Amino acid sequence: MLTDITFMCDPNVGWDSIRVLSGSNPLEARHIHFSLTTFKDNRGDGGIDEGGEITAFVSYVPKEVDMSQYRDNPLDAPTKKSGIFPGSIDFHVQGKPRLKIENLEPEFGSELGFPATRVWMDGLEITEFISKIDIDIDAIKGTIRGWFKYVDKEQTRKSVGIPVQQTVYLF
């Protein structure tokens, strides 16, 4: 299992490879998928305290694969799929807010798992305000999508008094 994954990228360089760190070990990833939806998403008040759903995995090239055999087509190298939790994932794209999601609950798959999730944006915890995260980076298909929604309680819609949800795009 991978733990403490860091995805760092400079969009000016390109998306043809995805490098992640698992602890201090660099890995060639092929697909990162992270989806979080809170049950409060449709009511506009955000937060994970009422529960929700998470899907989170990374497909990567295992260290034992000899990449010199795939010099002409590195995306053809065999991959392994691993869950992200328990652990953390940190998305850092130059010029965009840094997003970190962490869940250290050893029984992540149980009902204890979701409430133990914590979310930070640029070092500020937004766990109680998050409503949705959707990130999918796929080097093989050449697709990338990344955004999250959180409730900005500082701003409300004056006419109805409902807090405003902000959408932040990572890519």
Question: Among candidates 164, 126, 132, 136, which has minimal Cα distance to 148?
Answer: 132
Is residue 32 within 8 A of residue 144, CB to CB? The reply is no
Tell me the C-alpha distance between 52 and 36, whole Å: 7
What is the tens place of the pLDDT at every residue in 73-106? 888 899 999 888 878 888 887 788 889 999 888 7
Tell me the C-alpha distance between 44 and 33, whole Å: 24
Tell me the C-alpha distance between 45 and 95, whole Å: 28
DSSP code string of 12-33: TT-SS-EEEEETTEEEEEEEEE
What is the tens place of the pLDDT at every residue in 116-157? 899 999 999 988 888 899 999 888 887 888 999 887 766 655
